[in-house]
Chains A and B, each alone.
Chain A
Amino acid sequence: MRELRIAAVADIHLGEDLRGHYRKKIEGIERRADVLLVGGDLTRHGTIPEARVVADELSGLPIPVVAVLGNHDYHSDRNAEIIDLLRDAGITVLDDEGTVVPIDGVRLGVAGGKGFGGGFAGKCASEFGEPETKAFVRHTKEIAERWRRALKELDADYKIVLSHYSPVKDTLMGEPPEIYPFLGSYMLAEAADAEGADLFIHGHAHAGTEKGVTPGGIRVRNVALPVIKHAYTVYCLNGGY
């Protein structure tokens, strides 16, 4: 089976003031990668004009683009419209679901969505007490359950989880430990480990580090732009099921 070259980036935080800048950096991406994955925080405030900049920068590339939203993209409560706008521009946006991208006869399965926080095993919030606390934890739990189903249903040669929030602490190293519960949740890793995947891509933690691994052994990569400091990073998958 052919090797797949996965370009990944997150936290591009585009707005009118950056129009044209990112596009310039990804010209020629088809010579380096087969697909581009974008792990959320596409905009700064989650407005429609910012989403239009994102659509203009990411659409019309010679390779498929798969994206998820991040917390910034929810800020103006226009997340559903942003998803529609990006999809109309030809970008596949995952909202707690999976997709299969065919690449030269190889099926690349990508599942995921924004994700959410809650913390990591032993130091996390639980569904107990005030309704606000329970709602916070339940949100992550429900997301993880949808991802588990999406991964299970993917009929693919390679599987990648694409998220904004982190599944592990490893890639948060550099962030203050006090804010870890707002940066990710072990439940996201648990869902991926239960169904199996070749790679887990996320962003959100600008001060974190690039490389980590889930408790079940899935490689995790934090591709937040301030972490990778490149327009994108390319990961080559050689294995498969």
Chain B
Amino acid sequence: METPHYVAARVQRALAEDERTTELGIRVDVRGEEVYLRGQVSCDERRHQIVNVAREAAPGLRVHNELTLVEVREPGEEEHL
């Protein structure tokens, strides 16, 4: 079995460099045959693409989508400096 450390590095690089994702801030953890993806994305379509790219970069492993959607709220309280 490939060392999990290198699998995680490969998935993380794929997510950053693949044109479908270009996501630099996704945390990738590999435990045995399980891959966990954590981080925030701005829409559901991007979340699916991240999972697709991760699956291609880690064939045969089970990818767990633990990504959350950034909820852009209306502006809140202002800060006085």
Contacts and interface: CB of A to CB of B under 8 A. Distances in A.
Interface of A: 5, 7, 13, 17-18, 21-22, 25, 29, 32, 44-45, 72, 75, 198-199, 206-207, 219, 225-226, 229-239
- Interface majority SS on A: helix, strand, loop or mixed? mixed
Nearest to A224: B25
A238 B78 CA distance: 13
A230 B76 contact: yes
A29 to B, nearest CB: 8
Given A17-B46, A72-B22, A234 B79 contact: yes
B71 A229 contact: yes
A235 B43 contact: no
B80 A238 contact: yes
Interface of B: 19, 22, 25, 39-40, 42-43, 45-46, 70-76, 78-81
A230 B72 contact: yes
B72 A234 contact: no
Contact of B75 (A226, A232, A236, A237): A232
Given A17-B43, A18-B42, A206-B40, A230 B74 contact: yes
Residue with the highest number of chain B CB atoms closer than 10 Å, among A13, A29, A232? A13
Contacts of B42: 13, 18, 225
21 contacts: A5-B78, A21-B72, A22-B72, A44-B22, A199-B81, A207-B39, A226-B25, A229-B70, A229-B72, A229-B73, A230-B75, A231-B72, A233-B76, A233-B78, A234-B79, A235-B79, A235-B80, A236-B78, A236-B80, A237-B81, A238-B81
B22 A233 contact: no
A192 B76 CA distance: 28
Contacts of A44: 22
Nearest to A29: B75
Contact of A7 (B40, B71, B75): B75
Contacts of B75: 7, 29, 32, 230-234
A31 to B, nearest CB: 10
A215 B16 CA distance: 32
